[in-house]
Structure 1
Amino acid sequence: MTETRPAAPRDLSDRLRHPVPHLFVYAFAIVPAIALVAAVPLAWGWGLTWLDAGLALGMYVVSMLGVTVGFHRYFTHGSFKANRPLRIALAIAGSLAVQGPVRHWVADHRRHHAYADVEGDPHSPWRYGTSPAALVRGFWHAHMGWIFDRSLTDQRRFTPDLLDDPDIDRVHRAFSALTVVSLLGPALIGGLVTWSWWGALTAFFWAGLVRVAVSHHVAWSTNSICHLVGERPWRARDRSTNVWILAIPSMGESWHNLHHADPTSARHGVGRWEIDISAGTIRLFELLGWAHDVRWPTAKRLAKLAARPEQAPAT
């Protein structure tokens, strides 16, 4: 069943990004991508050590969970409540993914849900139509083209709660410093462990640039691939899909169809083989007493949301 939504206002942004930080948007989108392409031949011959791989994996997990558990399920959708140390830690961890300051990220994503796949959505692949040429153009826009738009989503409209939070305001303003930590922190560790400039350089390349590029493209794939192809077992008002192959690298975010059907749910993958690392992390936080009032899905709720109710899994 299709839900009718009001047309988007003509302008959902409140200002333009300053030209200097906008240049950094290009830099952090393009330079890590170049490193990712270069990584393929380099991995075969030289420059990749177990230390580099370990640092890259560790930084990937921490920063991606900061985005998926923190920026997304907690700050954007309120899937659970967190104590103050966890709240601050999630904002910092998400910032290490170099996907933008916390308020910018949350504002864009709340706007996406308000206007998913209709006018007003900042990154719908259906923006230009349904012809093959339009979908190719739309895929590029949804995957990364949209980040080059200087217009910033109105935070007063979409994130008034975060504007009033002094802890989050400090983390938001510290994004540039956290970006430096995210990129140069692994280099510092690599240099100290190997006691060499070469160890610092390879750690910067693999655990800094390549790791950021991989996390960017996995996250952007949720905007592009998970609104174009895949399964739709849940009733959502948009074209969101489940794409199983992205489940592990996206930490469970690619069970995107259920997320759009039930945005505040703390778990997106509910089937027996639907791995959702983010949900498991939230469960751990709950057991430790750091998170509470978690919005776990129920069998009754899933039955209501299922496209074919007889196929709804039990929780």
Structure 2
Amino acid sequence: MAAVHGPQGVNPPERKGFLGWLYKRLPIENFISTQLTGYYAPKNFNIWYFFGSLALLVLVMQLATGIFLTMFYKPGEATSFDSVEYIMREVDFGWLIRYLHSTGASAFFIVVYLHMFRAFLYGSYRAPRELLWIIGMLVYLALMAEAFMGYVLPWGNMSFWGAQVIVNLFSTIPGIGPPLVEWIRGDYGIADATLNRFFSLHVVAIPLALLLLVVLHLVALHETGSNNPDGIEIKKKLGPDGHPLDGIPFHPYYTVKDIMGVGVFFVLFTIVVFFVPTFGGLFLEGPNFEPANPMSTP
């Protein structure tokens, strides 16, 4: 197997056994050397550049907890609310998984908004990163759709009325509004068909689109290079070895810093999950612990 040159010009030892067999058939080592140890980031990153990798980690957590919730959740007018109650009361650690998922959704948006604020602060939407910014906005739109449909699925009273309000907003679109609303609901009102439709979109269609957009976002980032507080384009000034003079390998220099930030995040996140999972009604409203009632607005 041909040796892969790391960022310091040191050849890693040739792999033997199973790893040697695997690396000859999958470009794992090449991926690590080009996208991690060989990906150069600006030297002057500050704390604002931590939230991008943290958002990716929270996305993975949401996918993992969502898979476990899907094992017990049953979409339907007569079953959705009761299945969530079953998860909370009867499934081993079901309450923890549900709170990790619901609180994680709120934490996800907090992290994403901080990531977006950094992009505004340092002009990451400017050339040559326009496409990176556009893909990021598509990720944000997909996240909003994913969060809205996930909010409806527990079928509490806030879920029902939230769905009524948001879906009916589409009726204001001239010409196609009313039929579009009926198509979104799958019925003449928010009902069983709506829950099944939202469940399918929430657990299959939108996550697949979201993962694709995230991959494209990362590819676009690595192609143009990261922005930085001073606006230095590190790819314009290369050393004799072809590496940016104003950059350092993302791994291990920034991965170590990110790990420390992740530790701080999970300490704060754990405190919220175990002690204030509803966060005073900001993360989970009281009326959503009541079954959906078309005759009573929360």
TM-score interval for Structure 1 and Structure 2 normalised by the shorter chain = under 0.3
> By percentage of residues, which structure has more helix?
2
Which structure has more RCO (C-alpha within 8 Å, separation ≥ 6)?
Answer: 2
Structure (1 or 2) with the larger CA radius of gyration: 2
TM-score by length of 1: 0.26
